[in-house]
Structure 1
């Protein structure tokens, strides 16, 4: 592990159980974010930048070893690192390095909107800490990774994907609805750790049946819909890659690489468990190609199950679909199409503007409190309040952000499968109700 990096001790690292050093890094991270959001640039310690520089330099070669390394090439790729140090020295900040949004193709005008759009109704610390944990508590490395993810969200127009109707997405991405209808990829229930379970039926997939971009958009659409189903404090999902009936005709290396990329670089710390089920002998040659592409942290979350009974080690029998022996849930996936009027709220622009305004006001209040929290106990402190007092109000505002988001949600985001089911899985207050047919 490089200097400036630290492992996350068990039972720590999340917004509700940070230790003293972790809280310090989180404050540092928010300080960098606000400085960049205000001016488009900030200055960071060179000692924290050094490992970012090494990874960025290795990623710029033609043989970048992993997607993870490539994701680190951002502020300091190529000759940018040396320039960053020279710019800091010219500004009288020796020992520092200048970070600029322009180096990533971002702007001040776009940064806050994409940040808050990514937060949605989550605790904002939860989003930031995903990147911090992924970069082993090096705030500069985490900042670099997070802003690269924001740039990707803008380039891929992720907000449009998650707010659009499935019909609109299908019009732009041929055969997207067909993939949803056939059950190639669907979400149902939770595992033993209360993580939502996403099933990928690989035997139903053939790379040439649809444009690659359609599958990429589908993956993002399902990811964004699934994110809203997460129930705090659970922050990760369980993926079941069902390889029953797998043949080489089902192999799609492009899509495998894409999924690895988005989970490692753009949705870090989102995977709790990856179950590869029923892999036939022919798959092991494929696995030799895939395994080196995985970040070691992700690879450690992979388990193989050969028999259906082994799945019950990870998913309770009463929640496991009965197409697997030992599963008691008679759930049968069938895609539910849009119904007339389901997005009527989106036409009510007056209410929409009011609710969006209330949500944004809470985001600004969170930022004010976070600035106060960062400075408490320093010569920049502007209040006599204690850290604990500020944290109490800050956490209360985060609860209000979640309430405000789900009030706003039907006015800004089209309804989807999880709202249409009977009874609905996704409830108006943000809670989730899974029905198991035992």
Structure 2
């Protein structure tokens, strides 16, 4: 696949300001949303509404409906209240973690390793994914609102993934975290993954599908995708990079996540709403 358009983020002004054509539509969405609670209003900044509009191709009513569903989901699911200690069991094998490096555009990187699946609970797996997404968003730099996923298929077989969990994953990410994915790199997916990909593709909207790149370590053309996006000196050796010190260490990662929980939420069990200013909502 070509990476000409997928790996290049928008310009600085496009990342920090809503597209001009959305300015009036943002106000229309606000009008349709009606009165909001203080908590819900934290997730309805101009930038957030612009992302929902982008996800629905500028359609005001569809974007409003989507955002309302997210507000309802956040009220019920309370993703901002998930703490490291609750989901640390899911994290023990490094099946999802935020890398120490960013890409060349400052985007946080979530590394995913399906072969490291270590639990049987779909609910626990989704809750862990949500925690990882919230943490990555909290760590976005001021000029950036998207992230990169690096999915490593080393040791993968079909027993490591579930169609049910994959469907729910696609639903949560597309419906409640629109336009947060900048690029997803599938690194060395085996032939046996192809039938699964065919099953999952219908559940992905076209925009999401177009952000997926297949990269193979023995293909110099596809390897250039990573070279264009990453400083190879910082990228893990597992992905063809030169950094041999960045492999996952659970104890060190647990310390990082506890520090993040303390940094963003303090010692309280429920987050202070002001912390979500950093979420870009």
C-alpha distance 313-154 of structure 1, shift in aligned 2 (>3 A): same
Report the Cα distance in structure 2 between the residues aligned to 1:127 and 1:13, rounded to whole angstroms: 13
SS in 1 for 2:191: coil
Which residue among 192, 209, 218 is the counterpart of 2:128? 218
For residues 242 and 338 of structure 1, do their structure 2 counterparts lie closer, same or farther at Cα, with a shift above 3 Å needed?
closer
In the TM superposition, residue 288 of structure 1 has moved relative to its aligned partner by: 1.1
Q: Is the partner of 2:250 in helix, strand or coil?
A: coil
Question: How far, CA to CA, are the matches of 1:244 and 1:251 in structure 2?
Answer: 14
- 2:246 maps to 1:331: yes
Match of residue 26 from structure 2: 26
Aligned equivalents of 1:261, 1:331: Cα separation in 2: 31
Equivalent in 286, 300, 305 of residue 196 of structure 2: 286
Over alpha carbons, which structure has the higher Rg?
1
* 1:115 matched to 2:41: yes
Contact 1:203–1:246 (CA<8 Å) still a contact in 2?
yes
| TM-score between the two structures when normalised by the length of structure 1 | 0.53
Query: Could you tell me which of 75, 78, 84 is aligned with 1:166?
Result: 84
2: CA distance, partners of 1:278 / 1:159:
34
Unaligned runs of 5+ in 1: 1-9, 38-107, 170-175, 346-405, 416-429, 431-438
Q: What is the CA distance between 1:328 and its match in structure 2?
A: 2.9
State the Cα distance separating 1:115 from its structure 2 match: 3.1
- Do 2:149 and 2:183's aligned partners in 1 also have CA atoms closer than 8 Å? yes
- The structure 2 residue matched to 1:232, chosen from 125, 128, 142, is 142
Other-structure match for 1:322? 237
- 1:198 aligned onto 2:110: yes
Asked whether the equivalents of residues 317 and 329 of structure 1 are also in contact (C-alpha less than 8 Å), the reply is no
Which secondary structure state, in structure 2, belongs to the residue aligned with residue 323 of structure 1?
helix
Match of 1:199, SS state, is strand
Q: How many residues align?
A: 254
TM-score using structure 2 length:
0.79
Give the equivalent residue in structure 2 for 1:388: none
Q: 1:187 aligns with which of 93, 98, 101?
A: 98
Could you say what the CA RMSD is over the residues aligned between the two structures, in angstroms?
A: 3.0
Quote the offset at 1:190 in angstroms: 1.1
d(CA) in 2 for partners of 1:17 and 1:212?
A: 35
Q: Per-residue deviation at 1:178?
A: 2.6
Separation in 2, partners of 1:186, 1:242? 12
Match of 2:266 among 404, 410, 419: 410
CA distance change for structure 1 residues 252 and 187 in 2, over 3 Å: closer, same or farther? same
Give the corresponding residue for 2:7: none
CA–CA distance in 2 between the matches of 1:342 and 1:243?
Answer: 30
CA deviation digits over 1:6-25, x for unaligned, max 9? xxxx7686552632x32211
Q: CA 1:322 to 1:13, structure 2 compared with 1: closer, same or farther past 3 Å? A: closer
Deviation at 1:413, TM superposition (A): 6.6
Unaligned runs of 5+ in 2: 1-9, 272-277
1:343–1:182 CA distance, 2 compared to 1 (3 A): closer
Distance in 1 between residues matched to 2:261 and 2:103, nearest whole Å: 34
Aligned counterparts of 1:240 and 1:193: Cα–Cα separation in 2: 15
Q: Which 10-residue stretch deviates more, 24-33 or 131-140?
A: 24-33
**Match of residue 272 from structure 1:** 182
Separation of aligned partners in 2, 1:329 and 1:320:
9
Residue 412 of structure 1 and its aligned partner are, at CA, apart by 4.6
**Match of 2:266, SS?**
helix
**Counterpart of 1:299?**
209
For the residue of structure 2 that corresponds to 1:234, the secondary structure is: coil
Match for residue 52 of structure 2? Answer: 131
Q: Deviation string for 1:395-437 (max 9, x for gaps)?
A: xxxxxxxxxxx8x74365789xxxxxxxxxxxxxx7xxxxxxx
> Of 152, 156, 161, which residue of structure 1 is paired with 2:73?
152
